[in-house]
Chain A
Amino acid sequence: MPPPLFSVTKPGMTLQQMKQRLRDFDPQAKIEVIDLTGTSNHWEVSMQSALFKGLSRIEQHKSVMACFDSELKTGEVHALSIKTQSL
């Protein structure tokens, strides 16, 4: 079976769902989520969390992306721009 030319994506996450995922990671975090294109699949996430203390920039980004692991795989979240800061 030839690989799909593009991944068939479900409708996309809502703003609330995106925020909830980040709160699941750290309820005390300061978060900001922006739908970059209004299509619910290109998101920008800014997050300040005490849990980032001591983590390298790449580890901080990895932990944010882990919150959307399955959606990144299915393409439901097509693009995720990340800004992190430890508190």
Chain B
Amino acid sequence: MTASGVNQSTSQTPIKEKIQSILQQNRVVLFMKGTPQYPLCGFSARACAILDDLDVPFHGVNVLEDEALRAGIKEFGNWPTIPQLYVNQKLVGGSDIMTEMYQTGELQELVK
């Protein structure tokens, strides 16, 4: 609970600000478990493999390192699972949607 009542309504929680700045600074962001070099979950590994296959430079964010970020990102885009792909600050989806879009060619279009 923030003590200051000055900008109570406009004050954003640090986590939301942190997420927004990550998204503003990186065109393609994958919130994942582990790192692109060492993914720590099958779905995160698949998401990395898809992006690698498309030769898309992306910024991997290891949510396991920050419990508040792990909960915050789920709330931020109203998506309860990890990994999550964001392109141009918009939620694309998890590894299932990435796989489907990869198969239809939509993902290639999106990240061009």
User: Is B67 a contact partner of A57 (Cβ separation < 8 A)?
Assistant: no
Interface residues on A, range: 10 to 19
Interface: A33 (CB within 8 A): no
Instruction: Give a binary string over B33-62; 1 marks a CB under 8 Å from any A CB, 0 the rest.
Output: 000000001110000000000000000000
Q: Is B13 an interface residue (CB 8 A)?
A: no
Q: How many residues of B contact A (CB 8 A)?
A: 17
Chain B residues with Cβ below 8 Å from A62 are: 78-79
Say whether A38 faces chain B, with CB atoms less than 8 Å apart.
no
Contact indicator B81/A72 (Cβ below 8 Å): yes
Confirm or deny: B17 has a beta carbon within 8 angstroms of a beta carbon on chain A.
Answer: no
Given contacts A79-B43, A80-B81, 9 further A-B contacts (CB under 8 A): A58-B91, A58-B92, A58-B93, A61-B93, A65-B80, A69-B80, A79-B81, A81-B43, A81-B95
Q: List 18 A-B contacts (CB under 8 A).
A: A3-B67, A57-B97, A57-B100, A58-B92, A61-B94, A61-B97, A62-B78, A62-B79, A65-B79, A65-B81, A69-B80, A72-B80, A72-B81, A73-B80, A79-B81, A80-B81, A82-B96, A83-B96
